[in-house]
Copies of this chain bind each other. A is one copy, B any other.
Amino acid sequence: MNGDNHNNLYWHAPSITVHDRRRQSACRSCVLWFTGLSASGKSTLANALSKEFHALGVKSYVLDGDNVRHGLNKDLGFSHEDRKENIRRIGEVAKLFVDAGLIIMTAFISPYREDRDNVRALLHDGEFVEVYLKCSLETCERRDPKGIYRKAKAGQIKEFTGISAPYEEPVKPELTIETDKMTTEECLKSIFDFLVEKGYLGAELFSQEA
């Protein structure tokens, strides 16, 4: 910091860039965009990863219904237009976190391909990692941790993805995890291996865990 004249506050020190922040964060920041049916494991895997990242000193954060629908997007309902705007805003917020140097994970059903592709288009190459949590509807219905499939089948919830509204599978996701065929541990390992292989996490970081 050098002194300057107070009539000339527009002193422009070179700003900290996303590259500086990534170096400090020990990761190449990106969005891990989890998509899949309700109960396919999005929040569970995102939160478990968050814990692993934390242990490695990698800054991350999870955006989910709890912290977005009751806050930033509390003015939005469930019309087609509002759902679209919901995903758009989440994408824009995710972009800010990527710029801040974090690995940001989003845990939303995000059933429409177009909405997900719009988010992809907001980001630079390699910053959007679409993680499709593939899980049969039967398994999701059996898990049904919040009892919402039961309600949807009873007609108490309208336009429920998988029951009365479509889920459009990703065409070319960066990663597909079959959560009905693997243990949570195996799912996490697959995602970690991908992140290390693609250079989002340094191999040396990962080996600290061994």
Decide: B48 and A1 in contact? CB cutoff 8 A: yes
Q: How far is the CA of A174 from the CA of B93 in the complex (A)?
A: 27
* A156 at the binding interface (Cβ < 8 Å): no
A9 adjacent to chain B (CB < 8 Å): yes
Using CB atoms, name the residue of chain B closest to A44.
B9
Please state if A67 and B96 are interface contacts (CB–CB under 8 Å).
Answer: yes
The B-contacting residues of A in range 90-104, CB under 8 angstroms, are 92-93, 95-97, 99-102
Is the C-beta of A12 less than 8 angstroms from some C-beta in chain B?
A: yes
How far, in angstroms, from A8 to B96 measured CA to CA in the complex?
34
* CB 8 Å contact bits of A90-131 with B (1 = contact, 0 = none): 001101110111100000000000000000001000000000
> In the bound complex, do residue A72 and residue B54 qualify as a contact, i.e. CB atoms below 8 Å apart?
no
Copies in the complex: 2
Interface size on A, residues (CB 8 A): 63
Q: Which residues of the partner chain B approach A52 to less than 8 Å between Cβ atoms?
A: 1
Whether B183 lies near A6 (C-beta < 8 A) is yes
A12 to B12, CA, bound (A): 47
Q: A61-83 interface mask toward B, CB cutoff 8 Å, 1 = contact, 0 = none? A: 10100010001100100000000
Supplied contacts A9-B45, A21-B59, 12 more A-B pairs, CB within 8 Å:
A5-B183, A6-B181, A8-B143, A9-B41, A10-B145, A15-B51, A16-B47, A20-B54, A59-B100, A61-B99, A63-B96, A72-B96
